[in-house]
Amino acid sequence: MPWWSWMVIGGLLFGAELLFIEAEFYLVFIGAAAILTGAVALVAPSLPLWSQWFVFAIVSVLSMILFRKRLYRLLRRQIADRQDDLVGERIRLPVDLAPGAECRVDHRGSTWNARNVGAAPIAAGARGRVTGVEGITLQLHNE
């Protein structure tokens, strides 16, 4: 296979992962292996096709085993903490919510459980302030 074919395949895999598909960085490392194989084929044009595929396979597997998990965790850490940005927001309640009671609320296009963790009840139609997030349960206090 010509060296530029490996480069095109690698670029397409990079683009697919970064723009369209959430494959947890597998396609990034496969794409990087394809680009590296293309570079090897450019430097050594007489390399047989089976050797190119061997280089591609080894680099793909080793890079995923050695680097993917660490890099994925490093880059996705910011997204995992995203629920903390709900703290401080105000949410209108559809029903009366006594201390310790729960109800369902719609917020940001999703349905959440809401629990009144304060000492005072929150009236229907009033707003409660989010003070914490526990899974899909918003912890609210009366404003």
CA distance 42 to 94: 65
Measuring CA to CA, which residue among 69, 82, 70, 34 is closest to residue 55?
A: 34
91 and 107 in contact (C-beta within 8 Å)? yes
Q: For each successive 10 residues of the chain (143 residues), what is the average pLDDT? A: 93 88 83 95 94 95 89 68 73 91 89 91 91 88 83
- The SS3 assignment for 119 reads coil
pLDDT at 104: 93
| Residue whose C-alpha is closest to residue 136's, from 83, 61, 73 | 83
pLDDT of residue 12: 94
Q: What is the pLDDT of residue 84?
A: 64
For residue 55, what pLDDT is reported?
Answer: 95
Q: Looking at residue 45, what is its pLDDT?
A: 92
Domains of the chain: 3-81 (no CATH), 87-142 (2.40.50.140)
pLDDT of residue 116: 93
Cα-only R_g, the chain = 25
Query: Please, are residues 34 and 56 in contact by the beta-carbon 8 Å criterion?
Result: yes
